[in-house]
A and B are shown apart, each in its own frame.
Chain A
């Protein structure tokens, strides 16, 4: 909540609606970017930024 930008790194990117609303701990308004990575990529540091709403 306090950070200017929040990058969520995930091995398992789900489509919107996959999680029950009451089980979401960090609502999307707090997340600036989502970075899907495979476990192999995580080790190699080769990330792909697929979506971002980084503030100006």
Chain B
């Protein structure tokens, strides 16, 4: 028997009792999946969760019901959907992104909430500490110290003369004040003048892009936001058209033509969060499960975009990249 077959076989043997345990008990778990955006753009996150839960023995249609709720373009709608999930008496709410976690937190202090976010959940007041979240919330937080410094550093590596940049945020995102503060402090420390552009919907984005076209910043930093990502192609095309080097703070931009991105892998965060869902469905208390943070952040560089912008990417930077799109 080769080793891979053995490992898979062993996994199946270990997983089988869990499935059996749930099925024997006749328990059907009900999980609410709460996300901003649309199913067409964000449904893949629900799919990742569903597949990861299957690996823990929770199979949709057998011993698992997932109530999917997508809030569309307006974050305010998430609160109504979170209330609805609470009324449905779900066993747990999975909050995909900080705005969803915020809405779930406001909707319930008792139903367990597992979140996947790229923000600091302590600063967001979701939990009281990383080690002991202490409330009905826990999850995965894909951020770490010096991330903003590294992102600005990336821009400076490809544009050594960079002195002015614009940061684009969605002001409706509850994490915006916190993130803006962090990136502004970092920019000041690195002698980079920052200007702020805001957009909370497609119409505001039009206006923000018009203003940026007039200001012609030397660089662009797009703070991660599900709704900005949904309009990602327009932002990427704008940066290409106006020859503005941009760094993105979540994954998924470079493959669409964005210059570079440096962030935690959301798929991995969701997979890990699924293990918390599993443990809570089996009786663990969310407040006892420490917030987990990734040890690795991924750097993706799109060389086609770099060439189109006339940029030379230093070899040392290419060596550090986890993926180079050619």
Do chains A and B stick together as partners? no
